[in-house]
Structure 1
Amino acid sequence: MMYGNDDFVPVLLGTGVGAYNVARSLHEVYGVRSLALGRAALHETAHSAIVGVRAHRDFDSADAVVATLLKVAEEFPDRKLLLIPTIEYYTNVALDHREALEEHFIVPLVSRETADALIDKSAFYATCEKHQIPHPRSVIVPPAGAGEEPEIPDLPFSFPVIAKPSNTDIYPRLHFAGKEKVYLVDDAVELVSVLKRVNAGGYDDDMVVQEFIPGDETVMRVANTYSDRNGTMRSCSVGQVVMADHDPTMVGNNNAIISVDDPDLTASLRSLLDAIGYTGTANFDVMKDPRDGVSKVLEVNLRLGATAYYATAAGANIVPAIVEDRVYGRDPGDLVTTDSVLWINLPRWVSRIYTPKALRPQVKAAARRRTAHTLRYHPDLTAKRFITVMRIDLRYALSTFKYGRAGMNQ
């Protein structure tokens, strides 16, 4: 089967739900089939007619990724190649090897300098401070030397606190007992214990200790944006988290989102991105602080979020904006979503059980307008594909039953 169309070929780095989101978003508009490259063929992209997967076990090596991409370029000498990383690791590979890749690929990413001011959390909070973007108060704790105790500075906020790695490229690739994406810490003794555990697990970069914003899913928001090649934000979609993933190893991931109209947050993100001349897609984690009602930015990823199909469902299909802007050189248009629809990553009936009571009226109204599931794409649901998607749904449902907190108890 042909990849892309007569004009361009989408080449995706990653084979998970984020890659399927991009492939589906492109297929809906252009009817094209994407090529996805990754270390393993994951279930989210298996048996698909809209994305072909090539697995390369040596993709832990950046040099292997680049070498494979250059071979792919030789397959399509007469068409534009659009390179879209879907996870942090591949984003960094593309940034670090941009000069070699841009001889063959369109690479719609920021400069390495801008990336470094954003992807490292300590640098990101300094950037937010400079541009007066609301964010939680934070303290940076440098790594302890071998055999040394972590030094905890005086905190300008009280316990409990959040502790999380500043470097989100290295940390996800580490494996150790007791690893969590972020840590909720009750006191100074526990904080020292967490820092020791993370350091012993092989992480030797800064940790961020941050004020804890109280609340459940009702305070959690996400945003996905696209800024054109001239550094102007053109698309933005804000989502209210309905169901977070409560598996300790998956904290920060979401299983249900409703799109919402949040003009203040949209204005903050526009102010930040335009001020630094950002180009490409971005994914923000945000919390709406119940103490002052202000949406505060926690972090940014230099790519679309894995859950970004909620934006497409609400009317802002961000991926084609990249194609219009970078492939065809056309005006991608301006899109800010205001309609509320429901996006889910597991069976709808499971989300009903685990929706917090305070959000249920909004979720019901959004679901009546539209309910969307990234992997349930009718043109791609062959028998094998349908069974695969059902198995994925079952996996998420069982994980939710094991770790989740039922909305009826909240």
Structure 2
Amino acid sequence: MSTPAPHTSDEGIDLVLLGGDIGVYALARAFHEQYGTLATVVTRSVSGPVADSRILRTVELGADADEAAMVEALLEVGGQRRAAGVRPILLANADFLVVLIASNRDRLGQVFHLPVLADNVLEAVADKATFAEVCAGIEVPTPGTVVLDFADGIKPRVPTLEWDFPVVAKASRSSAYSQVSFEGKRKVFEIRSRAELQDLVDRLHGAGFTDRFVVQEMIPGDDTCMLSVTAYVDSDGEVTLLGGAHVLLEEHTPGALGNPAAMFTTDLGPVLEASVRFLEATGYRGFANFDVKVDPRDGVAKFFEVNPRIGRNNYYMTAAGTNVAVPVVADMVQGRRIERMVPRAEILYSILPWALLRRYLTDPSLRARVRAIGKRRTVHPLAYPVEGWRRRGYVAVAKANQVKKFLQHYPKPSVDGF
């Protein structure tokens, strides 16, 4: 492993990121915009989102690096920073990496600021099955949920469901799901019959899956019924960052299904209030990202899950005027209380060409509203003006590739988003 020389911003604020996706770059960009920080990205492979960047340096571990190698690399990088008199903030933006950091908090906490959840809270909120139980106790609406438990290698019986097919099925904990592979594996499954559900159970069991899967009531409506909420809770339990966006289109490749590809910031009112209620009731700390869907049958916003991290599309918050670096720096580094930061600007966040996005906005009034917002300001998290020509070329190619992906996996809009 080759480690870059220590570097810090003028304010002594340093950042180390584990992983290398678009959300990691968005965090690096936020810190660079606010503090001039040059982040260090520790990743198995340096891929497009973090390659050839002027605002970060990479430590590439190799595709075969295991979790132990990741921890040792982090300790080496963090130790260099501490030797230089700086204690970096350590963040990750994938569930299994958050779990890795949390499970090694005693060692990593010696050299890093760790804005991660306590183990008992992480276990409770990162599990979609437990999430539904917690929400029921504090009157936060969720879809109907049934849990399939594969513990101890036992294949669960497929129960009789209270709702009609189709239903949705997904891993209760993505960190556990990431450890298995099988033909047809997807992030989220649309199950159209009991036979399909039984087939999924058989495949999960055959792949050696030993965690829990949740089967949920299908909430009608396409991607435009989805909402995203991003928050930060400081060490004293105060929600110091809170904002949301109306999703317009999600990605539809099997491995990324459900990740927003385009959305606009807006005041979500009661949805934000319910988010705060959840965060306060659970003793949450650090960044959180909620997935919510408005049920067109009754207008109720139903919470699907909370991600124990900031989320892949976090740059919409920074672009709307609430830089996500500020609350974590105030909390972890500066040790000061701040007033809650809430975005006020309406911006269009999109990783898609407008012509492609427009194709999927079938409601004329929504399309007109989005077009007006986009003309005022449209942001792509990777399109940072300080970057060089290689980065600009990558962004152009990435947007073109989105066209190919949608034509292959979601060629025309559907009523349910599948």
Aligned 1:356-375 pairs, distance under 5 A: 356-357=362-363, 359-375=366-382
Question: What's the % identity of the aligned pairs?
Answer: 31
- Report the AA paired with residue 116 of structure 2: L
Pairwise CA distance, 1:174: 2.9
SS of structure 2 residue aligned to 1:170: helix
* 2:9 equivalent to 1:5: yes
**In structure 2, what is the Cα distance between the partners aligned to 1:327 and 1:210?**
41
**In structure 2, what is the Cα distance between the partners aligned to 1:41 and 1:123?**
35
Q: 1:189 to 1:315 in 2, by over 3 A?
A: same
Pairwise CA distance, 1:330: 2.3
Q: 1:130 to 1:373 in 2, by over 3 A?
A: same
* 2:107 equivalent to 1:100: yes
Does the Cα contact within 8 Å between 1:242 and 1:356 map onto a contact in 2? no
* 2:288 equivalent to 1:300: no
Residue by residue, what CA displacement relative to the aligned partner does 1:135-168 show, whole Å, maximum 9, x if unpaired?
Answer: 111011112876x764122322222211111121
Pairwise CA distance, 1:323: 0.9
SS of structure 1 residue aligned to 2:258: coil
Select 1:396's aligned residue among 399, 402, 408: 402
Aligned to 2:213: 207
Does the Cα contact within 8 Å between 1:232 and 1:277 map onto a contact in 2? no
**In structure 2, what is the Cα distance between the partners aligned to 1:130 and 1:219?**
25
Pairwise CA distance, 1:117: 0.5
**In structure 2, what is the Cα distance between the partners aligned to 1:60 and 1:345?**
30
Larger displacement relative to structure 2 (56-65 or 44-53): 56-65
- Report the AA paired with residue 378 of structure 2: T
Q: 1:403 to 1:71 in 2, by over 3 A?
A: same
Aligned 1:296-375 pairs, distance under 5 A: 296-357=302-363, 359-375=366-382
**In structure 2, what is the Cα distance between the partners aligned to 1:327 and 1:159?**
50
Q: 1:287 to 1:27 in 2, by over 3 A?
A: same
Select 1:57's aligned residue among 54, 62, 67: 62
- Report the AA paired with residue 367 of structure 1: G
SS of structure 2 residue aligned to 1:4: coil
Select 1:82's aligned residue among 83, 89, 107: 89
* 2:410 equivalent to 1:383: no
Select 2:233's aligned residue among 213, 227, 231: 227
Does the Cα contact within 8 Å between 1:10 and 1:35 map onto a contact in 2? yes
Pairwise CA distance, 1:316: 2.0
Residue by residue, what CA displacement relative to the aligned partner does 1:18-48 show, whole Å, maximum 9, x if unpaired?
Answer: 1100000111111111000011101111110
Q: 1:353 to 1:346 in 2, by over 3 A?
A: same
* 2:52 equivalent to 1:47: yes
TM-score computed with the length of structure 2 as normaliser: 0.92
Does the Cα contact within 8 Å between 1:150 and 1:196 map onto a contact in 2? no
Pairwise CA distance, 1:234: 1.6
Does the Cα contact within 8 Å between 1:225 and 1:237 map onto a contact in 2? yes
Aligned to 1:281: 287
* 2:138 equivalent to 1:134: no
Does the Cα contact within 8 Å between 1:217 and 1:356 map onto a contact in 2? no
Q: 1:281 to 1:134 in 2, by over 3 A?
A: same
SS of structure 1 residue aligned to 2:407: helix
User: Structure 2: 5+ residue runs without aligned partners?
Assistant: none
**In structure 2, what is the Cα distance between the partners aligned to 1:59 and 1:228?**
35
Larger displacement relative to structure 2 (219-228 or 149-158): 149-158
SS of structure 2 residue aligned to 1:202: coil
Residue by residue, what CA displacement relative to the aligned partner does 1:237-257 show, whole Å, maximum 9, x if unpaired?
Answer: 111111111223321112111
Does the Cα contact within 8 Å between 1:322 and 1:332 map onto a contact in 2? no
Does the Cα contact within 8 Å between 1:261 and 1:339 map onto a contact in 2? no
SS of structure 1 residue aligned to 2:394: helix
Q: 1:263 to 1:98 in 2, by over 3 A?
A: same
Pairwise CA distance, 1:399: 0.7
* 2:20 equivalent to 1:15: yes
* 2:196 equivalent to 1:193: no
**In structure 2, what is the Cα distance between the partners aligned to 1:2 and 1:376?**
26
CA-atom RMSD in angstroms: 2.0
Select 1:179's aligned residue among 185, 198, 222: 185
**In structure 1, what is the Cα distance between the partners aligned to 2:152 and 2:232?**
40
* 2:119 equivalent to 1:115: no
Residue by residue, what CA displacement relative to the aligned partner does 1:370-409 show, whole Å, maximum 9, x if unpaired?
Answer: 10000000012x1122122222222222112222344599
Aligned to 1:159: 165
